[in-house]
Amino acid sequence: MSSQVVNNDFFKSKVLGHPAGLFVLFFTEMWERFSFYGMRVLLINFLTMAAIGTNPGWEWTSENAGALFGTYAGLLYLTPIAGGIIADKLTGYRWAVVIGAIIMTLGHASMALETEFSLYLGLGLLVVGTGFFKPNMTSIISEMYKDLPEKKDGAYTIFYMGVNAGAFFGMMLCGYLAEKVGWSWGFGLAGIFMLLGMLQFWLAKPLFGTIGDVPSKTTKHEDAEISPDGRIEDKAISNESKPAGKLNNFTLVDKVLIVITSLIGLLYLIDDPASKIGNIHLLPEQFILSKDILPGSIVITIIGLLLFLYLVISRIVRYEKVVRDRMIAVIVFAFFTIFFWMSFEQGATSLVLFARDFTDRTLSGNSAIAFFVIDTLLTIVPLLLISWVLYLLFRKTFNRIGLSNIILALSFIGVWGIVAWKMNNDFTSQAYQIKYQAIKSAKLNEETKEQEKDEKGEPVFEYTPVTESTVLNGNEVITDQFVDLSDQEIKRVNDKVTLHSEIGKMMYLTKEKEDKIRGDYKKAGRPSLIVPATISEIKENHIEITTSWFSILNSFFIIVFASLFSKWWDSKYNPSAAVKYGLGLIIMGVGFGILAYGTQIIPPGAAAGSVRVSLVWLVLAYLFHTLGELCLSPVGLSYVSKLVPARMIAFMFGMWYLAIAIGNKLAGTLGGQIENITKEYSLSVFFLIFTIVPVVAGLIVMSLNPMLKKLMHGVK
């Protein structure tokens, strides 16, 4: 049967003007992004959380946590290269998606066990599973619409909304469960929906016919690719329309260099966290230079990058001028891609820690009511819209894929149940003002040993909570301190309660948590830091925003502004690729500049929780980061497809993903330095780094616009 016949039959069953199968892919991708972003938003928070507490983590340093996250994120953009090749040659797209989903489900399940081995195993499985899943979902869409290209824009828009909806609900619900109940609940929920998404996709097989089957040997590269964060970015144009130049086979030297540089890159990615966390060195600590000058792993990695640069240059110079120039343009864009993702991916590292440790997430009175209304609308409205799409899919396809529809329905019943529980938990929690005693002492400057003064010249004091293990000698100055907290337990004024300080924040303890924490201190051979306290006042309209809530803002702002940017790109004011790239970098830098300004009141060396700034600064930062992403998103991989000759397409895609992987690795490494830089300088200086670097990079790439236009030789 020809593809034309298959596609014509495929388009007979329509939902919102598109084949029902597109919405199966919509929901499959939605659940995959739900699980991916749901886990991603938890990882740094879990790794750095106090080991003894109401919701204990592993108490890693931000440097170690950032090293592990950077390696995980970097590998996520390398394995899809292999996954796409395997699907092309062996499994076909549909089987690749199923294999990837199963492996990722096992990864989430492994992480839910919360042991060190299960965490590493889980991350490894997620990396491998993503390699199978990520490149092949969009390949299925491309095959579906290859005979109806005019329908592709609408299809990608719908798929794009599924991606963002999954990211939105994954971060919201997995984050809420993890922070309010326990980390394993968040990790586990991500795995459950990954499994359900895979099942509904596989059981919908009758809708797809031969689409996504193992391709024949004559199958060519399709014209859709996925953006660096898993979102649809643009479509490629046919490689047949581009000058191919002379035949440019890979030489033996080329192949040897590919193997060597790939091996060096992989060893470095694994060596970095292994050496910091477990003192396990896969690369020598010293190589050529003294390790005091430059560690051996860095020297070898630089050599690997130089070899890779030589490989790329030696390949490019073999092409005719037009092809060579266009490939140089791709390399320029790839280079600046590193700076974008290095900064943007702070959203999964340093910004998570900033939201937790230095952002005032406690609201009361009218502010609490306003947030509850906004949060409810943010949750319910998109869920209603997606449920309506589910209903339309049911009407069209239940007779053909009933079991798939039932599993999809059960998934949404689960989401609605969690949303209802979340809203009820927030709405019915009782808030209290709680009084406890603290020792008042002068805060001394570490260098001068003199008492510090604030900006008004007033002396600064520290307040150390009096715990049940504190021994007083009678000379201390004891003062009453007050904190507003909420819980489901019903208490009365003057009731005795207990608190526990966790990363600079007082936490209310239920009897069960109190007993567990006291047992943890005893097991660790440490004096208990549980703080006796008293209910002093019953409060109303009090809510504490979870750390993970802020991460949903990126997906929300994308949904709000994507159509506006799309209209801009379709207008006569559509900027060139270099200008879009520059705007994306500069606007994102402005977002970090807002944070640098807003955190000026936090002094150098400030302990977590000692000073908290308004949440408005973080909301504005996410807004500008998203606007920057929307400026840059039309460029990316689409220009690789447009500018690179067919015989180099796979190699250059690999190089592009390498640039993104480097950006993600740098994001984890630099984001992990937030504690060290804040201690030595200030949080404002830390954010200023991510202001200056992308802004300068943006200005440079915009200044290169005339040169890049010439290099692109008419490609728009």
The vertex-376 CA angle with 198 and 177, nearest 5°, equals: 50
Asked if the structure places residue 122 within a domain, the reply is: yes
413, part of any domain: no
Under 8 Å between Cβ of 393 and 412: no
pLDDT at 594: 97
CA–CA gap between residue 333 and residue 638 (Å, rounded): 11
The number of domains in the chain is 4
Entry pTM: 0.88
Range of the domain at 55: 1-235
d(CA 618, CA 622): 6
Rounded (10°) CA dihedral 299, 697, 616, 432? -10
- Return the H-helix or E-strand segment holding 604: none
Residue 380 lies in a domain: no
The beta strand positions in 513-592, using DSSP E, are 530-539, 542-544
The C-alpha atoms of residue 634 and residue 631 are separated, in whole angstroms, by 7
Alpha-carbon distance 129 to 140, whole Å?
17
Measured CA to CA in angstroms, residue 96 lies from 92, 162, 575 at distances of: 6, 20, 37
Residue 280 belongs to what H/E stretch? none
Cα distances from 707 to residues 243, 475, 644, 712, in angstroms, run 20, 73, 18, 9
Residue 371, domain member (yes or no): no
User: What sign for the dihedral angle of Cα 222, 664, 633, 702?
Assistant: negative
206-217 as b/e: b if 16+ CB within 10 A = ebbbebbebbee
Distance between CA atoms of 26 and 81, rounded to whole angstroms? 22
Q: Distance between CA 88 and CA 93 in Å, rounded?
A: 7
Residue 374 lies in a domain: no
Residues 166 and 197 placed together within one structural domain of the fold: yes
Decide if 373 is inside a domain.
no
Q: Within a domain: residue 401?
A: no
Cβ-count burial 556-583 (b if 16+ within 10 Å, e if not)? bbbbeebeebeeeeeeeeebbbbbbbbb
Same domain, 631 and 598: yes
Q: What is the CATH number of the domain that holds 702?
A: 1.20.1250.20
Q: Are residues 313 and 333 located together in one domain of the fold?
A: no
Clarify whether residues 559 and 531 are in a common domain.
Answer: no
CA separation for the pair 666, 41 (Å, rounded): 18
Are residues 176 and 75 both part of a single domain? yes
How far lies 203's CA from each of 20, 200, 303, in Å?
14, 5, 49
Closest to 130 in 3D by CA, of 35, 267, 268:
35
Final residue before a domain boundary, out of 235, 260, 279:
235
Residue appearing with tokens 């998570």: 352
Residues 49 and 180 in one domain: yes
Q: Which residues of the chain have pLDDT under 50?
A: 1-8, 218-245
* pLDDT for the residue 377: 92
Please give the Cα distance from 668 to 302 (Å, whole number): 18
Whether 620 and 710 map to the same domain: the answer is yes
The pLDDT of residue 11 is 56
Contact yes or no for 493/500 (Cβ under 8 A): no
Instruction: Indicate the residue among 544, 564, 588 that finishes a domain.
Output: 544
Question: Looking at residue 247, what is its pLDDT?
Answer: 54
> φ, ψ for residue 436 (rounded to 5)?
-140, 165
- Whether 598 and 671 map to the same domain: the answer is yes
Alpha helices in 145-251 (DSSP H): 152-169, 175-180, 183-203
Place of tokens 């990790």: 187
Per-residue burial over 410-438, b = 16 or more CB atoms within 10 Å of its CB, e = otherwise: ebbeebeebbeebeeebeeeebbbbbbbb
User: Distance between CA atoms of 694 and 701, rounded to whole angstroms?
Assistant: 10
Q: Which DSSP string corresponds to 33-48? A: HHHHHHHHHHHHHHHH
For 503-630, list the strands marked E by DSSP: 505-509, 530-539, 542-544
Specify whether 121 is located in the same domain as 225: yes
Q: What is the pLDDT of residues 393-442, one digit of tens each?
A: 888 888 888 899 999 999 999 999 999 999 998 888 888 999 999 999 98
pLDDT of residue 254: 84
694 falls within a domain: yes
Q: How many CB atoms lie within 10 A of CB 455?
A: 7
Do 469 and 582 lie in a common domain?
A: no
Burial class (CB in 10 A: 0-12, 13-18, 19+), 303: middle
Q: Which residues pair with residue 235 across a beta bridge?
A: 224
Q: Which residue shows structure tokens 């480097």?
A: 662
- Distant-in-sequence, close-in-space partners of 235: CB < 8 Å, separation ≥ 6: 152, 156, 223, 224, 225, 638, 641
Residue (of 383, 377, 378) closest to 30 by Cα position: 383
Could you tell me if 199 and 155 lie in one domain?
yes
Q: Are the C-beta atoms of 716 and 362 separated by less than 8 Å?
A: no
Taking CA atoms, 662 is separated from 129, 233, 423, 681, 693, in Å, by 20, 20, 40, 26, 16
Do residue 514 and residue 594 come from a single domain? no
**End position of a domain, from candidates 285, 302, 317:** 317
Instruction: Return d(Cα 391, Cα 623) in angstroms, integer.
Output: 32
